Structures are given as C-alpha cells and as structure tokens.
Amino acid sequence: MRWFSTACLWFQYKSKCTRMDLLEFIFLLLSIPCFKASHFFFKRTYALQQRELLRLGRECIRLGGEDYSLEFDNLVLDHSGVTQTYYALCDIGRRCERSSKTANCAHVRHG
C-alpha cells in the first residue's frame, strides 16, 4: 500500500520537474493507477480491521463483558470515492474524541 502511494507522489513530483510537456503528461498518467491501487489497498485494509474490531467486540460479549467497540453506521467504503472516505473517517475520529471526553468526565459527580 505504501509503495503505491510513494510511487504516485514520485510520479507527480517528476511531472512538475520535467521541462517537456509530453513527459509531464506521461508522468501524470502513470500516477493515476498508482493512486487508485493505493486507495484500493487502503479500503481493503480498513475493511479487514473493521471485521477484526467487530470480532473482538463479539468475543467480549461472549466472555460476559460489554461491547465497547465503535458502531460503524452505514460505513461501507467499497463504492465510495476519496472524499467520501475522508469525511467518513473524520466522522469516526470525532465520535472517538467525544466518547473519550465523556469517559474522562464520567467520574465527576455533580450534586
């Protein structure tokens, strides 16, 4: 996954450094499949990690505990573009921050 993203950035850098328009165009065309491959592998890795989290949550319930895993409401990255993936992950990050702030203040008793 990192190799494809590095190759994409290298091709983009080379396209900016070249003086011939044809080479610039060729380097930009070569960067597009590298970016798409990097995004594809990112989505696959994310899906595998999401499955692992759900499995661990079920394991906690089976052992008599509670499921503290995040709930991924309608978060399917299979057919979403880069911007939709970015905003969905930002939303998860905000939910994590809110839940950690709530957990940190749970011991305070007002009364």
pTM, rounded to two decimals: 0.55
Nearest C-alpha neighbor of 91 from the set 78, 73, 104: 73
- What is the per-residue pLDDT across 68-77, written as a single tens digit (0 to 9) for each? 665 655 555 6
Burial (CB count within 10 angstroms: exposed 0-12, middle 13-18, buried 19+), residue 75: middle
Give the pLDDT band (50/70/90) at residue 96: confident
Q: Which residues lie closer than 8 Å to 25 by C-beta, 6 or more apart?
A: 15
Tell me the average pLDDT across 3-12.
Answer: 80
Tell me the average pLDDT across 25-37.
Answer: 85
Confidence at residue 105, expressed as pLDDT on a 0 to 100 scale: 53
Tell me the CA distances in angstroms from 31 to 1, 14, 35, 66, one per residue in order: 14, 10, 6, 46
